[in-house]
Structure formats: C-alpha cells, structure tokens
Chains A and B, each alone.
Chain A
Amino acid sequence: MIEDKLLVWKFKSGNNDALCRIYEKYKDNLLRLATALLNETAASEDIVHDVFVSFAETAEKLKLSGNLKSYLSTCVANRVRNWNRARQRQTTTNLNEAESVVSNTKRPEQWIVENEQLRQLNNALAQLSYEQREAISLHLQGGMKFREIAEFQDVSTSTIQSRYRYGLDRLRSLLDNEAKL
C-alpha cells in the first residue's frame, strides 16, 4: 500500500518507471480477473491492454481515493461489462456471428488452463450468474472488499455477501458433480 501511494505519486509526476512498475505489479492479477469474467483469453488480454493505456492517458487527471489494485480491478470489470454489452448487441443483430462467439468461448486452447482442475473451475465459473461471478472474481482476484464491490454493483453489502456465498456454494456443487463423473 505504501509503495502504491508513492508509485501513483511518481506516475502522476510523469515518471515512466513508476508506470512500468504498476503494470508489472498488477498485470497478472488483472488478466486473471478479466479471464474469470470473460472466459476468453484474447479478449481478456485486449481489455487489460486497454485499461492500462487509459490509465496512462489519465495521469494528469487521476484522482485515486481508494487503493490502486481495486481501482484497476474496477476498470477491468467496467470494460468487461462494456465488452459483454457489445457482444450482446452483436448477438441480437447477427445470429451467425453470435454462434461463432459461443463456439470461440468453448474452444479449450483459449482457456489457458494448466490442468484439469482449472478447466473444471472455468467451466463452473461460466455457469454462475454474471453478478455472482463478478462478486467472486472481484473479491478473490481483484482484491476488493465486499463494500467496494457493493458500491460498484450498486447493491447492499449483504447482497454482495449473499452473491459471493451462493456463488461459492454453486461452484462447490458443480465441481463435486464433475468429480463424481
């Protein structure tokens, strides 16, 4: 936290090294978050890329009131929402393209899973409601507190806690069923 405050301070002063350090520090976390929300590698990489470029462009105006990791995680989640909305529009206007998107998301080589367990996890995550997946991913991979996620989703903290717990229960059930097969 201390390091982040100084990194942001230096970044706002136009320091290139500080920006590189921020990228190095959070790139993997943010990619994992984007992948958990999207389940698509290429799109996740694009989103992380765009988030950092926007972040760099706003050096002068950046007003960071919370912690840096939560801020960047929120940026990723916002972009994923926009990306999903854009995909939904595509889906409703072009059925052929929509099918292609669905098949892409199911292509195993795009999941970057290292083992069977991760493949199962990604499958299970994809079966949760988006709100549940977002609550779980932002909390565990984005490092955000329930209160911060509640603000982001514009619901109460108890609702987020419920989404988180029910989501985990559902994941547990899905993974247990897979293990029995």
Chain B
Amino acid sequence: MRPSKNIEKLIKDVNIDTNAKMDNAVLVDVLEALENSKKKGPAIAQPSIWGIIMKSRITKITTAAVIIIVVMVGLYHYTGSFHGTTAAFATSDVITAMKQVQWTHATTQWIDHNNVPVDKLKNWDGLEFWQSIDPYRTISIGSSGDIEFTELNSEKVYDPKNNTITITSPHYPEKDPPASMQEIWLDCVSDLEKSGAKVEYSDSVYGDRPAKIIKVDYTKESGWHEEITIIVDAETHLAREFMVYQKTTKGESGTMLMLIDYPPTGPKDIYEAGAPHDAEVKVIDNLDEGK
C-alpha cells in the first residue's frame, strides 16, 4: 500500500514514544514543581465536585457522568464508614449492587436561586442521561432536543435546529479506554474520605419501598457550601434520588434534583435515543479517509 493511501491514519499512528530516561527526568521535575506549588503562598484550592459541575464549561455528557459518579462516591463514602449498626448499608453491599447495574438512567430538574424551577442552569442544560458500562455508552439529551451519543469509537451528535447527525472521530484510543464507573468510583474514595463532611442518616419511604436518607452537609474553608441529599433504596442499595443545594462563596445558589432508575436496557443507537431517521448524517474528523 502506498503511504499516501491513508495519510491521516499514518500520522495518527506514528510510533514515537518517550524513553525511560526522559520519563524519570520529567517526573522528578514535575513532582518537585507540584511540591513547591503546595508550599508557596495560599494552600492549593480544594475544588468541590459540584463546583466543577457548576463552573466548568464541560460537555453535558461529562457533566452528567460526573454527577452520577458523585452519587456513587457519596454512597460509597458515606455508607462505607457506616459499618456495624446498619448492616444493610455495608460498603460491600453497595459495591455489589452497583456492579450489577447494566444501565443507569437519570433525569434532572433545576431550581434557581429564587427557588423557581428552570429549564437549565448556567453551563448546563442536560435533562436526561443514560450510561452503560459494557458496552461503554453514554447518551445525553438536552433541553432543546439535542442528543449526544458516545461510544468507545465514535461520538454522534444530533442537532435539532439543522436536523443533522454529526459523527466524529474516536475519543479514546484503544489502549486507553475510559475508566469504568466502578474504577473511577473506587479511585476517588480515598480522597473524599478526608473531606470531613457532616453526615446524617435516617429511615424513610421512597414510593412504596423502604429507603434510607443520607444527608451530607459540606462547607469548605473558603465558605463554599453544599448540602447533598441522597435517597437510597434500602433493599437494593441503589440511589434513587439525588439533590444538591449549592451556595458559592459569592452567595450564588442553585439546586439540582436528579431522579435515577436502573432499567434493564437502554437506547442502542442515536435513533432509539430520539433522533429522527430523516436527519442528515455528516461524518467529520473520521480517521479513515474516503468514508
């Protein structure tokens, strides 16, 4: 095959890697730089997860996924330290329950600082979110009907304004696929365990099922305040409702309410997620020429 046949792939796959000598030199220097950064001036900021969600101009999918993670992390963290008296909420039960989930589905509602329900808050208009781990698939549906459908090798975006579906190139190289929810969840537990949040547990009923309510009151040194309420099914140990009230150091506040369910299946393609079949399909950024 002539090299020009697939130039994009050739450039993308060019095999140039760092060597051990360079890795050692860089890692020594960057860790020293980070240590110096910690020693200098004020302490490094301790951003809250909710702060990242609210303040970042990140994609809806990422935002929604982070929120789901927060639910899981919250469960692990706050139930994980609650051994003994309520055996039903042992950490192992929660982990087991989460591992058995194939699909997570969530819908969100937003309440602004005036306590009025709104379609969206600043930087966020995701209304509905789906995720499955195997196969990896996330779907986000926005308030204007826009849909983002992401799999390991492609991202499809439906734009209702132009009635188009745009397919873009892979986000994750094969050697480095996105981490599973459980991996991420377990990975950040150790960090959150140091958070020092105030936690209260109470028994309740959700629908017609017994439930546990976990309330987390969390104030940063900076004054950033969050109140997180998680309602968990007492039998399945899965989160069903998740509410976050947040007030920034500048006094700005807002509330997000997320209702979560765990259906046995979800949308298999962007059309099942709601995109019309007559939408024009555009392929851009694809690695293989000629498609």
Question: Interface on A for B, CB 8 Å cutoff?
Answer: 1-3, 5-6, 9-10, 12-16, 19-20, 23, 25, 27-28, 31-32, 35-36, 45, 48-49, 52-53, 55-60, 64-66, 112, 114, 117-118, 120-121, 125, 136-137, 139-141, 143, 145-146, 168, 171-173, 175-176, 178-179
Give which listed residue, A14, A64, A168, A173, contacts B34 with CB less than 8 A: A14
Residues of chain A within 8 A (CB-CB) of B62 are 1-2, 5
Residues of chain A within 8 A (CB-CB) of B30 are 19, 23, 52-53, 55-56
Mask of B135-148 contacts with A, CB within 8 angstroms, 1/0: 00000000000000
Mask of B175-190 contacts with A, CB within 8 angstroms, 1/0: 0101100001001100
Interface size on B, residues (CB 8 A): 53
Q: Is the pair B4, A176 in contact by a Cβ cutoff of 8 Å? A: yes
Q: Is the pair B191, A15 in contact by a Cβ cutoff of 8 Å? A: yes
Give which listed residue, B17, B22, B179, B191, contacts A49 with CB less than 8 A: B22
**Interchain CA distance A64-B59 in the complex, whole Å:** 13
Give which listed residue, A13, A60, A112, contacts B16 with CB less than 8 A: A112
Give which listed residue, A15, A28, A57, A137, contacts B37 with CB less than 8 A: A57
Mask of B113-141 contacts with A, CB within 8 angstroms, 1/0: 00000000000000000000000000000
Given A9-B52, A56-B34, answer yes or no on A1-B2 (Cβ-Cβ < 8 Å). no
Question: Interface on B for A, CB 8 Å cutoff?
Answer: 2-4, 7-8, 10-12, 14-18, 22-23, 25-27, 29-31, 33-34, 36-38, 41-42, 44-47, 49, 52, 56-59, 61-62, 65-66, 69, 168, 171, 176, 178-179, 184, 187-188, 191, 285
Q: A32-B14, A60-B45, A178-B3 are in contact. List 5 more A-B contacts (CB 8 A).
A: A1-B59, A1-B65, A2-B184, A53-B29, A121-B14
Q: Is the pair B3, A117 in contact by a Cβ cutoff of 8 Å? A: yes
Residues of chain B within 8 A (CB-CB) of A28 are 16-18
Q: Is the pair A2, B31 in contact by a Cβ cutoff of 8 Å? A: no
Secondary structure of the A side of the interface? helix
Q: Is the pair B16, A172 in contact by a Cβ cutoff of 8 Å? A: no
Given A2-B184, A23-B30, answer yes or no on A118-B49 (Cβ-Cβ < 8 Å). no
Residues of chain A within 8 A (CB-CB) of B57 are 65-66
Q: Which residue of A lies closest to B52 (CB)?
A: A9
Residues of chain A within 8 A (CB-CB) of B171 are 1, 143
3 closest A-B pairs by CB: A56-B33, A172-B4, A56-B30
Given A6-B69, A59-B34, A179-B2, answer yes or no on A49-B12 (Cβ-Cβ < 8 Å). no
CB distance from A1 to the nearest CB of B (A): 5
**Interchain CA distance A65-B63 in the complex, whole Å:** 12
Q: Is the pair B31, A27 in contact by a Cβ cutoff of 8 Å? A: no
Q: Which residue of B lies closest to A139 (CB)?
A: B285
**Interchain CA distance A120-B10 in the complex, whole Å:** 11
Residues of chain B within 8 A (CB-CB) of A121 are 3, 7, 10-11, 14
Q: Which residue of A lies closest to B287 (CB)?
A: A140
Given A49-B29, A53-B29, answer yes or no on A14-B2 (Cβ-Cβ < 8 Å). no
